[in-house]
Structure 1
Amino acid sequence: MSKNIIEIDNLSKFYGKQRGIEDVTFSVEEGEIFGFIGPNGAGKSTTIRTLLALIYPTSGSAKIFGKDCIKEAPSIAQDVGYLPSETFFYEGMTVKDLLNYAATLYRKDCSKRIAELSERLKLDTSRKIRDLSFGNKKKVGIVAGLLHSPRLVILDEPTSGLDPLMQQTFFDILREENNKGVTILFSSHILSEVQKMCNRIAILKEGKVISLQNIHELRADAYKKVHLSVESNISDRSLSLDGITKYEKNGGEISFIYKGSVNRLIDAIQPLKATDILIEEPSLEEIFMHYYQ
């Protein structure tokens, strides 16, 4: 039976009267890659920073490894790797010195792991931090977050600044870690990343979790994207069917998102004398927008 590595219960954080997050509740199982998605400002970073005791909650509670995130933060940190959305380092240090310094915080020899990750990410460890591009600083953050072989990796918008090839290398590294049993919490507003990586997701809107489900359920939740080619002289109201959203008609081309019985859909389409029909799974982006309507 799987155990929970992260448990969040009615977690709220307010900055005066300003809402950060409100009554956020979810758990992440051991060995899971869990996606935490929503647009910028939805509360993803606030949740993560509260989990890591970088800020304190207004109410509610959170546990990692069964330990209270605030009371036992130093103990938890030994087994957690964290990549913030924006990385800030000592600008005058070389990459090598910075990573070696980070390794001393975990009281273990991380030299082999540092060398391996730096090579795969094509990171020049002899350069000074101040001379690095944004993308290379992100690579330093990745190595710093993984060098101690943590049990839990928390990633906040991790791919910003990485080129597509380096993103793929990064995802390969994450999958390898996950195959070793490492649990990953992956925050992003780029849904294709989440779709590629995650087992389950929580969708965050205005500081609240509005949906929690596995990735297959989300995509197979009876939503269909339908494209029809019909006689161009039909009226816009020729298709009468409950469950249709995002209806668009352009001449003889009709497209819409549909949720409901496929048999009812076919019955409704039949009188239109369609010359062509394509029914496909909508993208995660299109499903996501449904939640934000």
Structure 2
Amino acid sequence: MHASAPVPEFAVHTAALTKRFGDLVAVDDVTLTVTPGEVFGFLGPNGAGKSTTIRLLLGLLRPTSGTARVFGVDAGDVRRAHRHLAYVPADVALWPMLTGAEILELLAALGPGIDTTYRAELIRRFDLDVDRPAKTYSTGNRQKVALVAAFATRAPLLLLDEPTSGLDPLMEREFRRCIQQARERGQTVFLSSHQLAEVEAVCDRVAILRGGRLVEVDRVEELRRLRRTVVDVTYRGVAPALDDAAGVTDTQQLDRNRLRFNVAGPPAAALRALAAAEVVAVSMREPTLEEIFLDYYGGAAR
């Protein structure tokens, strides 16, 4: 009896991954890990290096330095690495004379196996007419073909690069359902996106890429805590004395009896200041992932 092969510790592992194009450094010393079964968000605006990183993971580009591995296999060993993955690009190109059904069969034959029952369900859910030739498909329908092919595969890793471009809101909801079902099956999802609400809704952890460099990797809820709590206060009489309260920043007087401020870290000092005033109403909220993301980019991103 043969011992089973050990399961790799990481679905994706990059170490000091760097890619230069002449004087341009597109990916700069990126080190990250994605564990099997995780839904991992990869965030950044156009030009941040997201797609270049994915092309390095796919073995379509060779790194200038550093390494990229997929389930323990060097990404440059394309034949072996691609046994573990399915890929959806941002701009899907299909064989124009083949029908959607023929393309799905071709992609199934090339990949690591397919769940045909689930594929038929996805075709219905994405409202995809597979009897038409691909040359008649809109951008959204081309995207649907790629998504159906990827989600129906048994590949342990789904590499999705801006996968919902061209989809309407109803189809985006189906996409999120598919991500959840992939997680339940134990598949790993690497989702590159600039749609922050999408990433916030489906991902376990998020990496933020800026100018080719990682500026943060953490769980979504931890990223929120790294920033601040936004507090709105309505009061009577004298305003709360917040000037010396630890962690309070950016106090704004909204009108005569309303103010807003941010709290970083424990809120005890701010709460004591509020308790000493005649407060009528208080609302507190965590920042969205979009607000956190904009903090990294400042005025340039705005």
What is the TM-score with the length of structure 1 in the denominator?
Answer: 0.89
Tell me how far apart the structure 2 counterparts of residues 256 and 289 of structure 1 sit (CA, whole Å): 18
Conservation of the 8 A alpha-carbon contact between 1:257 and 1:282: no
Tell me how far apart the structure 1 counterparts of residues 254 and 83 of structure 2 sit (CA, whole Å): 58
Deviations 1:133-189 (A, max 9, x none): 211111011123234321110111112221222111122122112211111111111
Cα gap change, 1:45 to 1:244, in 2 (>3 Å): farther
Cα gap change, 1:268 to 1:22, in 2 (>3 Å): same
Uncovered stretches (5+) of structure 2, i.e. residues with no partner: 1-6
Deviations 1:184-220 (A, max 9, x none): 1111112211111111111111111111111222234
Tell me how far apart the structure 2 counterparts of residues 210 and 147 of structure 1 sit (CA, whole Å): 34
Matching residue's letter, 2:271: I
Task: Choose from 143, 146, 151 the match for 2:151.
Answer: 146
Bigger mean CA deviation after superposition, 25-34 or 283-292: 283-292
Task: Choose from 69, 73, 76 the match for 2:78.
Answer: 73
Match of 1:171 in 2: 176
Matching residue's letter, 1:278: S
What is the TM-score with the length of structure 2 in the denominator?
Answer: 0.87
Tell me how far apart the structure 2 counterparts of residues 107 and 209 of structure 1 sit (CA, whole Å): 31
Report whether the alignment pairs 1:251 with 2:255.
yes
Tell me how far apart the structure 2 counterparts of residues 160 and 171 of structure 1 sit (CA, whole Å): 14
Tell me how far apart the structure 2 counterparts of residues 232 and 59 of structure 1 sit (CA, whole Å): 63
Match of 1:204 in 2: 209
Task: Choose from 10, 20, 26 the match for 1:20.
Answer: 26
Matching residue's letter, 1:60: G
Bigger mean CA deviation after superposition, 32-41 or 269-278: 269-278
Tell me how far apart the structure 2 counterparts of residues 246 and 97 of structure 1 sit (CA, whole Å): 58
Within 5 Å, give how 1:44-193 maps onto structure 2. 44-70=50-76, 72-106=77-111, 111-193=116-198
Conservation of the 8 A alpha-carbon contact between 1:103 and 1:110: no
Conservation of the 8 A alpha-carbon contact between 1:239 and 1:268: no
Within 5 Å, give how 1:210-289 maps onto structure 2. 210-221=215-226, 223-230=228-235, 239-241=243-245, 243-252=247-256, 253-270=258-275, 273-289=278-294
- Superposition deviation, residue 225 in structure 1: 1.0
Conservation of the 8 A alpha-carbon contact between 1:219 and 1:281: yes
Cα gap change, 1:274 to 1:113, in 2 (>3 Å): closer
Match of 1:8 in 2: 14
Bigger mean CA deviation after superposition, 275-284 or 133-142: 275-284
Task: Choose from 181, 194, 200 the match for 1:195.
Answer: 200
Tell me how far apart the structure 1 counterparts of residues 280 and 200 of structure 2 sit (CA, whole Å): 33
Tell me how far apart the structure 2 counterparts of residues 184 and 239 of structure 1 sit (CA, whole Å): 45
Tell me how far apart the structure 1 counterparts of residues 114 and 267 of structure 2 sit (CA, whole Å): 59
Conservation of the 8 A alpha-carbon contact between 1:232 and 1:251: no
Aligned residues: 291
Match of 2:4 in 1: none
- Superposition deviation, residue 271 in structure 1: 5.8
Matching residue's letter, 2:93: F
- Identity across the alignment (%): 35
Tell me how far apart the structure 2 counterparts of residues 232 and 196 of structure 1 sit (CA, whole Å): 41
Matching residue's letter, 1:180: R
Tell me how far apart the structure 2 counterparts of residues 216 and 57 of structure 1 sit (CA, whole Å): 32
Tell me how far apart the structure 2 counterparts of residues 120 and 215 of structure 1 sit (CA, whole Å): 29
Tell me how far apart the structure 2 counterparts of residues 259 and 86 of structure 1 sit (CA, whole Å): 40
Matching residue's letter, 2:193: S
Give the match's secondary structure for 1:10. strand
Tell me how far apart the structure 2 counterparts of residues 76 and 270 of structure 1 sit (CA, whole Å): 59
